[in-house]
Amino acid sequence: MKLALIGAMREEIDPILEAVNEYTTSEYAGNTFYECQYGGHELVIAYSKIGKVFSAITASVMIERYKAQKILFSGVAGGISKDLKIGDLVMASALCQHDVDITAFGHPYGFIPEGSVMIEADSDLRSLAAEVAVDMGIELYEGIIATGDQFVASAERKEWIEKTFNADALEMEGASVACVCQNFNVPFFVLRAISDAADGEAGMDFDTFLKSSASVSAKFILEMVARIGH
Ligand code: SAH
Protein backbone atom coordinates (compact mmCIF):
# COMPACT_ATOMS: atom_id res chain seq x y z
CA MET A 1 0.00 0.00 0.00
CA LYS A 2 1.13 3.55 -0.63
CA LEU A 3 1.26 5.45 2.66
CA ALA A 4 2.05 9.11 3.24
CA LEU A 5 3.85 10.30 6.36
CA ILE A 6 3.70 14.04 6.99
CA GLY A 7 5.30 16.29 9.57
CA ALA A 8 5.18 20.08 9.68
CA MET A 9 8.86 20.73 10.42
CA ARG A 10 12.08 19.11 9.29
CA GLU A 11 12.71 17.95 12.89
CA GLU A 12 9.48 15.95 12.75
CA ILE A 13 10.44 13.85 9.74
CA ASP A 14 14.21 13.59 10.34
CA PRO A 15 13.82 10.61 12.71
CA ILE A 16 11.64 8.88 10.11
CA LEU A 17 14.15 9.45 7.32
CA GLU A 18 16.96 8.19 9.56
CA ALA A 19 15.02 4.99 10.28
CA VAL A 20 14.10 4.23 6.67
CA ASN A 21 17.69 4.90 5.68
CA GLU A 22 17.43 4.80 1.86
CA TYR A 23 15.09 6.94 -0.20
CA THR A 24 14.75 8.87 -3.43
CA THR A 25 13.73 12.53 -3.49
CA SER A 26 11.60 14.63 -5.80
CA GLU A 27 10.51 18.25 -5.71
CA TYR A 28 6.95 19.41 -6.27
CA ALA A 29 4.85 22.46 -5.33
CA GLY A 30 7.51 23.90 -3.07
CA ASN A 31 8.22 20.70 -1.12
CA THR A 32 10.69 17.85 -1.18
CA PHE A 33 9.10 14.38 -1.18
CA TYR A 34 11.06 11.35 0.00
CA GLU A 35 10.04 7.93 -1.30
CA CYS A 36 11.10 4.51 -0.08
CA GLN A 37 9.97 1.00 0.82
CA TYR A 38 9.37 0.26 4.50
CA GLY A 39 7.51 -2.47 6.36
CA GLY A 40 6.23 -3.90 3.10
CA HIS A 41 4.75 -0.56 2.01
CA GLU A 42 5.68 2.21 -0.36
CA LEU A 43 6.12 5.40 1.64
CA VAL A 44 6.09 9.04 0.62
CA ILE A 45 7.37 11.33 3.35
CA ALA A 46 7.52 15.13 3.57
CA TYR A 47 7.42 18.03 5.97
CA SER A 48 4.90 20.60 4.87
CA LYS A 49 6.13 23.75 6.66
CA ILE A 50 4.11 25.19 9.50
CA GLY A 51 0.39 25.95 9.44
CA LYS A 52 -2.90 25.00 7.84
CA VAL A 53 -2.22 26.26 4.32
CA PHE A 54 1.13 24.53 3.79
CA SER A 55 -0.05 21.29 5.36
CA ALA A 56 -3.16 21.29 3.15
CA ILE A 57 -0.97 21.73 0.05
CA THR A 58 1.28 18.86 1.10
CA ALA A 59 -1.59 16.51 1.92
CA SER A 60 -3.27 17.29 -1.42
CA VAL A 61 -0.06 16.65 -3.35
CA MET A 62 0.52 13.40 -1.44
CA ILE A 63 -2.89 12.20 -2.56
CA GLU A 64 -3.13 13.56 -6.09
CA ARG A 65 0.44 13.29 -7.33
CA TYR A 66 1.95 10.57 -5.12
CA LYS A 67 -1.27 8.48 -4.89
CA ALA A 68 -1.21 8.07 -1.10
CA GLN A 69 -3.94 5.70 0.08
CA LYS A 70 -3.65 6.65 3.75
CA ILE A 71 -2.05 9.66 5.47
CA LEU A 72 -0.39 9.56 8.87
CA PHE A 73 0.74 12.80 10.49
CA SER A 74 3.54 12.73 13.04
CA GLY A 75 4.67 15.71 15.09
CA VAL A 76 4.51 17.70 18.30
CA ALA A 77 1.73 19.66 20.00
CA GLY A 78 0.91 21.86 22.94
CA GLY A 79 -0.86 19.96 25.70
CA ILE A 80 -4.18 21.20 27.09
CA SER A 81 -5.37 18.26 29.19
CA LYS A 82 -3.77 18.09 32.63
CA ASP A 83 -3.15 14.39 31.94
CA LEU A 84 -0.72 15.21 29.14
CA LYS A 85 2.86 15.82 30.11
CA ILE A 86 5.77 16.73 27.85
CA GLY A 87 6.75 13.65 25.81
CA ASP A 88 3.30 12.00 26.11
CA LEU A 89 1.59 10.75 22.96
CA VAL A 90 -1.87 11.82 21.90
CA MET A 91 -3.81 10.58 18.87
CA ALA A 92 -6.67 12.62 17.52
CA SER A 93 -10.14 11.15 17.85
CA ALA A 94 -11.36 14.22 15.97
CA LEU A 95 -9.91 17.58 14.92
CA CYS A 96 -11.26 21.11 14.62
CA GLN A 97 -10.06 24.55 13.51
CA HIS A 98 -10.02 26.76 16.61
CA ASP A 99 -9.31 29.94 14.63
CA VAL A 100 -12.31 29.77 12.29
CA ASP A 101 -14.79 32.43 13.36
CA ILE A 102 -17.91 33.36 11.40
CA THR A 103 -19.94 33.55 14.58
CA ALA A 104 -21.25 36.95 13.40
CA PHE A 105 -23.67 34.93 11.24
CA GLY A 106 -24.87 32.71 14.07
CA HIS A 107 -22.52 29.81 13.35
CA PRO A 108 -20.55 28.11 16.13
CA TYR A 109 -16.80 28.65 16.43
CA GLY A 110 -14.87 26.38 14.07
CA PHE A 111 -17.79 25.91 11.68
CA ILE A 112 -17.67 26.48 7.93
CA PRO A 113 -20.98 26.10 6.03
CA GLU A 114 -21.25 22.72 4.26
CA GLY A 115 -18.61 21.37 6.65
CA SER A 116 -18.60 20.37 10.31
CA VAL A 117 -16.79 21.65 13.40
CA MET A 118 -15.13 18.26 14.03
CA ILE A 119 -13.61 15.80 11.56
CA GLU A 120 -13.08 12.29 12.89
CA ALA A 121 -9.85 10.41 12.30
CA ASP A 122 -10.01 6.92 10.76
CA SER A 123 -11.26 4.40 13.32
CA ASP A 124 -9.24 1.44 11.96
CA LEU A 125 -5.98 3.38 12.27
CA ARG A 126 -6.95 4.48 15.78
CA SER A 127 -7.66 0.87 16.79
CA LEU A 128 -4.34 -0.20 15.33
CA ALA A 129 -2.59 2.57 17.29
CA ALA A 130 -4.24 1.42 20.51
CA GLU A 131 -2.92 -2.14 19.88
CA VAL A 132 0.56 -0.87 19.05
CA ALA A 133 0.59 1.16 22.29
CA VAL A 134 -0.28 -1.91 24.37
CA ASP A 135 2.40 -3.99 22.65
CA MET A 136 5.03 -1.26 23.04
CA GLY A 137 4.01 -0.68 26.69
CA ILE A 138 3.37 2.97 25.94
CA GLU A 139 0.49 5.06 27.22
CA LEU A 140 -1.40 6.53 24.28
CA TYR A 141 -3.92 9.26 25.02
CA GLU A 142 -6.87 9.80 22.67
CA GLY A 143 -8.58 13.15 22.40
CA ILE A 144 -9.70 16.15 20.41
CA ILE A 145 -6.95 18.12 18.73
CA ALA A 146 -7.59 21.78 17.91
CA THR A 147 -5.68 23.35 15.03
CA GLY A 148 -5.07 27.00 14.21
CA ASP A 149 -2.54 29.31 12.60
CA GLN A 150 -1.23 30.46 15.97
CA PHE A 151 1.50 29.24 18.28
CA VAL A 152 -0.50 29.27 21.51
CA ALA A 153 1.60 30.47 24.42
CA SER A 154 -1.07 31.84 26.73
CA ALA A 155 -3.10 30.20 29.48
CA GLU A 156 -6.07 32.37 28.53
CA ARG A 157 -6.19 31.30 24.85
CA LYS A 158 -5.55 27.70 25.80
CA GLU A 159 -8.45 27.72 28.29
CA TRP A 160 -10.74 29.26 25.69
CA ILE A 161 -9.86 26.48 23.22
CA GLU A 162 -10.42 23.84 25.89
CA LYS A 163 -13.78 25.30 26.89
CA THR A 164 -15.01 25.93 23.33
CA PHE A 165 -13.94 22.66 21.66
CA ASN A 166 -13.35 20.30 24.59
CA ALA A 167 -9.85 19.93 23.14
CA ASP A 168 -7.02 17.99 24.76
CA ALA A 169 -4.12 19.27 22.64
CA LEU A 170 -3.49 21.95 20.06
CA GLU A 171 -1.23 22.44 17.08
CA MET A 172 -1.14 24.07 13.66
CA GLU A 173 -1.68 21.42 10.94
CA GLY A 174 -3.86 18.47 11.98
CA ALA A 175 -7.33 19.77 11.08
CA SER A 176 -6.24 21.04 7.67
CA VAL A 177 -4.80 17.62 6.78
CA ALA A 178 -8.04 16.11 8.12
CA CYS A 179 -10.08 18.42 5.91
CA VAL A 180 -8.10 17.49 2.79
CA CYS A 181 -8.38 13.77 3.57
CA GLN A 182 -12.09 13.99 4.24
CA ASN A 183 -12.66 15.71 0.90
CA PHE A 184 -10.53 13.20 -1.02
CA ASN A 185 -11.98 10.31 0.98
CA VAL A 186 -8.57 9.13 2.19
CA PRO A 187 -8.26 7.59 5.70
CA PHE A 188 -6.01 9.62 8.00
CA PHE A 189 -4.44 9.52 11.43
CA VAL A 190 -2.88 12.33 13.48
CA LEU A 191 -0.35 11.58 16.20
CA ARG A 192 1.40 14.19 18.33
CA ALA A 193 3.87 14.04 21.19
CA ILE A 194 3.58 16.92 23.62
CA SER A 195 6.35 19.53 23.37
CA ASP A 196 4.90 22.22 25.67
CA ALA A 197 1.80 23.14 27.64
CA ALA A 198 0.67 26.03 25.37
CA ASP A 199 1.18 28.41 28.30
CA GLY A 200 3.58 31.26 29.08
CA GLU A 201 6.51 28.82 29.05
CA ALA A 202 5.54 27.27 25.71
CA GLY A 203 8.17 28.97 23.56
CA MET A 204 11.03 27.84 25.74
CA ASP A 205 9.66 24.35 26.31
CA PHE A 206 9.04 23.91 22.59
CA ASP A 207 12.67 24.70 21.76
CA THR A 208 13.88 22.33 24.48
CA PHE A 209 11.60 19.38 23.67
CA LEU A 210 10.92 19.61 19.92
CA LYS A 211 13.51 17.01 18.95
CA SER A 212 12.90 14.50 21.72
CA SER A 213 9.11 14.66 21.40
CA ALA A 214 9.25 14.54 17.59
CA SER A 215 11.23 11.33 17.75
CA VAL A 216 8.79 9.73 20.23
CA SER A 217 6.01 10.37 17.73
CA ALA A 218 8.06 9.24 14.71
CA LYS A 219 9.04 5.98 16.36
CA PHE A 220 5.42 5.16 17.12
CA ILE A 221 4.26 6.02 13.60
CA LEU A 222 6.89 3.71 12.08
CA GLU A 223 5.73 0.89 14.32
CA MET A 224 2.19 1.47 13.06
CA VAL A 225 3.35 1.49 9.43
CA ALA A 226 4.98 -1.90 9.87
CA ARG A 227 1.63 -3.25 11.08
CA ILE A 228 -0.77 -1.73 8.58
CA GLY A 229 -2.28 -4.50 6.42
CA HIS A 230 -1.02 -4.76 2.88
N1 SAH B 1 10.07 27.45 16.46
C2 SAH B 1 9.50 27.35 15.13
C3 SAH B 1 8.00 27.60 15.13
C4 SAH B 1 7.24 26.46 15.76
S5 SAH B 1 5.53 26.62 15.56
C6 SAH B 1 10.20 28.34 14.23
O7 SAH B 1 10.65 29.38 14.70
O8 SAH B 1 10.31 28.05 13.03
C9 SAH B 1 4.99 25.20 16.46
C10 SAH B 1 4.91 23.89 15.70
O11 SAH B 1 4.70 22.82 16.60
C12 SAH B 1 3.70 23.82 14.76
O13 SAH B 1 4.01 23.02 13.64
C14 SAH B 1 2.59 23.20 15.63
O15 SAH B 1 1.85 22.22 14.94
C16 SAH B 1 3.30 22.55 16.81
N17 SAH B 1 3.01 23.10 18.15
C18 SAH B 1 3.65 22.69 19.27
N19 SAH B 1 3.26 23.40 20.34
C20 SAH B 1 2.33 24.29 19.90
C21 SAH B 1 1.59 25.34 20.54
N22 SAH B 1 1.74 25.60 21.83
N23 SAH B 1 0.73 26.07 19.78
C24 SAH B 1 0.60 25.81 18.46
N25 SAH B 1 1.29 24.86 17.80
C26 SAH B 1 2.17 24.11 18.51
The active-site residue, picked from 12, 122, 162, 168, is: 12
Could you give the CA distance from residue 43 to residue 31 in angstroms, rounded to a whole number?
16
CA distances (Å), 33 to each of 135, 185, 216, in order? 31, 22, 22
Q: Looking at domain 2-227, which CATH architecture does it have?
A: 3-Layer(aba) Sandwich (3.40)
pLDDT of the residue at 230: 72
Of 150, 168, 171, best ligand 1 pocket probe by most atoms within 8 Å of the beta carbon:
171
Could you give the CA distance from residue 142 to residue 94 in angstroms, rounded to a whole number?
9
Asked about 64 being catalytic, the answer comes back as no
pLDDT of the residue at 100: 98
Distance (angstroms) between ligand 1 centre and the Cα of 218 equals 16
Does the Cβ of 178 fall within 6 Å of ligand 1? no
pLDDT of the residue at 124: 98
Question: Across the strands, what pairs with 43?
Answer: 3, 36
pLDDT of the residue at 21: 86
pLDDT of the residue at 67: 98
pLDDT tens for the chain, 230 residues: list them: 999 999 999 999 999 999 998 999 999 999 999 999 999 999 999 999 999 999 999 999 999 999 999 999 999 999 999 999 999 999 999 999 999 999 999 999 999 999 999 999 999 999 999 999 999 999 999 999 999 999 999 999 999 999 999 999 999 999 999 999 999 999 999 999 999 999 999 999 999 999 999 999 999 999 999 999 87
Distance (angstroms) between ligand 1 centre and the Cα of 187 equals 25
Does the Cβ of 173 fall within 6 Å of ligand 1? yes
Distance (angstroms) between ligand 1 centre and the Cα of 171 equals 7
3-state helix, strand, coil in the chain (%, to 5): 40, 30, 30
Q: Please report, in angstroms and rounded to a whole number, the separation of the first and last CA atoms in the chain.
A: 6
CB 198 within 8 A of CB 99: no
pLDDT of the residue at 198: 98
